[in-house]
């Protein structure tokens, strides 16, 4: 799978760890930055990654920051992106099963290091349930264009 990834300075350490993990299990990763832990503005990196997912250049995306909130907000501004803020395996699974999340946001300052790869793996392995959830996804797509 081709996965977009981006972070600000506060998510940089986990971003590097996730890239290594994803590549080790055979995924192709497109890194949209940042390239250091030096202070920066997350929209500069998150928006291009989200656009790559929305356009189909990448199948899914992972965005990271201190809390993950700003990154999720920025990613969700891009039509076609459904970014779930995840802080454990359950939120990652439900974001995918019920919301067909094609992007997840993780807060490095709020997520224990031992959990981050489990969250990513859970989200990647989880299928969308469809059914009544598909109807809701369609409404999001339709109503958000008004």
What confidence tens digit (pLDDT) does each residue in 67-105 have? Answer: 999 999 999 999 999 999 999 999 999 999 999 999 999
What is residue 146's predicted lDDT score, i.e. its pLDDT?
59
Q: Is the pLDDT of residue 145 over 80?
A: no
Concerning whether 71 is annotated as a catalytic residue, the answer is: yes
Which structural domains are found in the chain, ordered by start? 2-143 (3.40.1400.10)
Mean pLDDT of 92-120: 98
* Known active-site residue 21: no
Cβ neighbours for 16, distance < 8 A, ≥ 6 positions apart = none
pLDDT band at 141 (very low <50, low <70, confident <90, very high): confident
Question: Rounded CA gap, 47 and 6, in Å?
Answer: 9
Check residue 144 and give its pLDDT: 78
CA 43/CA 48 separation, integer angstroms: 8
Question: Is 20 exposed, middle or buried, given 0-12, 13-18 or 19+ CB atoms closer than 10 A?
Answer: exposed
Q: Which of 21, 59, 98, 133 is catalytic?
A: 98
pLDDT at position 143 is: 83
- Catalytic: which of 27, 71, 93, 108? 71
């Amino acid at each position: 799978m081709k996965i977009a990834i981006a972070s600000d300075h506060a998510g940089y350490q986990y971003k590097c760890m996730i890239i290594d993990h994803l590549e080790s299990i055979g995924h192709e990763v497109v890194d949209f930055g940042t390239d250091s832990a030096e202070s920066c503005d997350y929209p500069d990196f998150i928006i291009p990654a989200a656009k790559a997912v929305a356009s189909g250049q990448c199948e899914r995306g992972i965005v990271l920051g201190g809390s993950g909130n700003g990154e999720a907000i920025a990613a969700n501004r891009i039509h076609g992106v459904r970014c779930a803020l995840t802080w454990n395996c359950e939120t990652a699974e439900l974001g995918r099963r019920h919301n067909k999340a094609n992007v997840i946001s993780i807060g490095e300052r709020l997520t224990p290091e031992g959990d981050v790869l489990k969250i990513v793996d859970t989200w990647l392995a989880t299928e969308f349930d469809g059914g009544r959830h598909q109807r809701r996804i369609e409404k999001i797509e339709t109503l958000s264009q008004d």
